[in-house]
Amino acid sequence: MTEDEDAWQRMKLVSLALLWLFCLVQTAGAQSKPNIILILTDDQGYGDIGRHGNPILKTPNLDRLHDESVRFTDFHVSPTCAPTRSALLSGRHEFKNGVTHTILERERMTLKTTTLAEVLRNAGYTTGIFGKWHLGDEPERWPARRGFDEMFIHGCGGIGQTYPGTCGDAPGNQYFDPVINHNGTFEKTSGYCTDLFFSQASEWIKTVKNRRSGSKPFFAMITPNAPHTPLVVAEKYEKLYADKVPADTARFFGMIANIDENVGKLLAMLKEQGIVQETLVIFMNDNGGTAGVRVWNAEMRGQKNTPYLGGTRAISFWHWPGTLKPAVVDRLAAHIDIFPTLAELAGAKLSPAVKTQIEGRSLTPLFKNPQAAWADRTLFTHIGRWPKGANPNDSKYAQCSVRSTRWHLVNNSKEGVKRWELYDVKADPGEKIDLASQHPEVVKTMDSVYDKWWADVLPLLENENASQPAVNPYHERYWNQYRGPGPNNVPPGTKGRNNDR
């Protein structure tokens, strides 16, 4: 071999080595993005879990998840369901997405919003949602048009619910054997709703894992409608609490026991698939407590549909074995922080418009150090839900609050009378002592901040005067799918078309 040929061979070997190293680095970089599973329960409260002190409810799988997670103890959501989902998926307050209610077209998230799912999909993720959506039931507003590759959902805010206008689920739907919108086609299922949502998500994850090249991660939102009313669950779960609490609470706790069981199965599946250390699992609830607060409300004041801490404080567990060390974080955090946190973990590139949209903060510094510096911040709560067609300004002060790290300025007036209460929630987390008269300067400052926030959101309330169709579009699409030569061309267990309206 000549000297030139020898040099050429060495150059080829070096080039191949560099190419191999480049591919290795690229693969390692892609695999460093976690798979993400976000579990969001409906109407479970902060106190509805064993580890948070509940004296009756047993949640062994959630307790284990708690113990193995970074858990936030001062984490807040909106006081009702559609608003929380809107804020979580947008990184900003729900009113800025036009969401001021859970029905009457005011649950619809503006099409101008870029969703978390869209950002993650653009960052290379495969995305799916399983359960409750509740941000618009018209096809152009479905999750399939908002960044989700896989869609397995019910309509409206709950299975079987329908309200005047566009918000409605499949007619006659029930918690057992519900009709589900699967990628735009209605499918009659067999089983209990919560079991179906978790099992469908698990099978999808297995399919994604088996077909992916080894580098493409997934984002799965599992959003059961349980334990929201109507309180329906298999008898074996209800019996666990039948002699310990009132009947409705026994069913409610039974629904949570079923959720706990499904969480256990999901975690076991991740281990079986060998992806538990590649997967970040987030568990949270969507608003304050409901049927369980009479038993245990973690010593908080208020519940769902109130502006007190009991209306907004939520479970927040972040489980990523081998990457996140279990810890307690007491810093003030919220649902609007999920978007920027997951975008950062996914290595997503955000456009200037999306950066402007996001009001939340990335929580990643607190994952590394729970005592990391964390600047004071202001969070806003408003129940919304004023009458359709009413002037929002008339309800400016109706059941609202302003929160900083130490202070919570609350107005619980349903009539919209300006009557601020002030609580030092670090010294008085139960919000028992109103300090408004003792700290008028704090009230004045926070009131001024609230005024500015209100002025900012008013121009964005695009759904307030939205027109309502004569026929519910979700129902119409359902009937169009099953329309046939006879009145019985409908899924088993549902009412005929003429009896639907």
Instruction: Return the domain boundaries, the chain.
Output: 34-368, 379-460
Looking at residue 209, its pLDDT comes to: 87
The β-bridge partners of 186 are: 181
Mean residue pLDDT of the chain comes to: 92
Tell me whether strands 333-334 and 75-76 are parallel, antiparallel or unpaired: parallel
- Residue with tokens 């698939």, as numbered in its chain: 273
pLDDT of residue 311: 98
- The first and second tokens of residue 85, run together, are 């989902």
Beta bridge partner(s), residue 279:
35
Minimum mean pLDDT range among 204-208, 305-309, 373-377, 493-497? 493-497
Whether 472 shows a pLDDT value over 50: the answer reads yes
The 3-class secondary structure across 169-219, one letter per residue, is CCCCCCCECCEEEECCEEEECCCEHHHHHHHHHHHHHHHHHHHCCCCCCEE
Over 90: is that where the pLDDT of 338 sits? Answer: yes
**pLDDT for residue 4:** 53
Provide the total of helices (H) and of strands (E) in the chain, helices listed first.
Answer: 13, 16
Span 178-195, average pLDDT: 98
- The answer, yes or no, to whether residue 19 has pLDDT greater than 70, is no
Alpha carbons 258 and 227: distance in angstroms, whole number: 9
* Percent with pLDDT over 90 in the chain: 88
CA dist 344 and 323 (Å) reads: 15
* Residue 208 pLDDT > 60: yes
What does the pLDDT read at residue 27? 36
Stated pTM of the model: 0.92
Phi-psi label, residue 38: left if phi above 0, alpha if psi -120 to 50, beta otherwise: beta
pLDDT score, position 181: 98
How many Å is the Cα radius of gyration of the chain? 24
The answer to whether 150 and 129 are in contact (CB under 8 A) is: yes
Q: Cα–Cα distances in Å, from 205 out to 49, 199, 210, 222, 266?
A: 26, 10, 9, 11, 10
Regarding the domain delimited by 379-460, which CATH topology (the fold level of the hierarchy) does it fall under? Answer: Arylsulfatase, C-terminal domain (3.30.1120)
Asked if residue 17 has pLDDT above 90, the reply is no
Mean pLDDT value across residues 442-447: 98
pLDDT per residue as tens digits for the range 71-115:
999 999 999 999 999 999 999 999 999 999 999 999 999 999 999
> Binning pLDDT at 50, 70 and 90, where does residue 210 land?
confident
In this prediction, residue 214 carries a pLDDT of 58
Which DSSP symbol is given to 460? G
- b (16+ CB within 10 A) / e for 452-477: ebbeebeebbbbbeeeeeeebbbbeb
Instruction: State residue 2's pLDDT score.
Output: 56
Is residue 487 scored above 60 in pLDDT?
no
* 363 within 8 A of 388, measured Cβ to Cβ: no
User: Which tokens sit at 449?
Assistant: 């901040």
Residue 26 has pLDDT above 90, yes or no: no
Which fold is adopted by the domain 34-368? Alkaline Phosphatase, subunit A (3.40.720)
pLDDT at 498 over 50: no
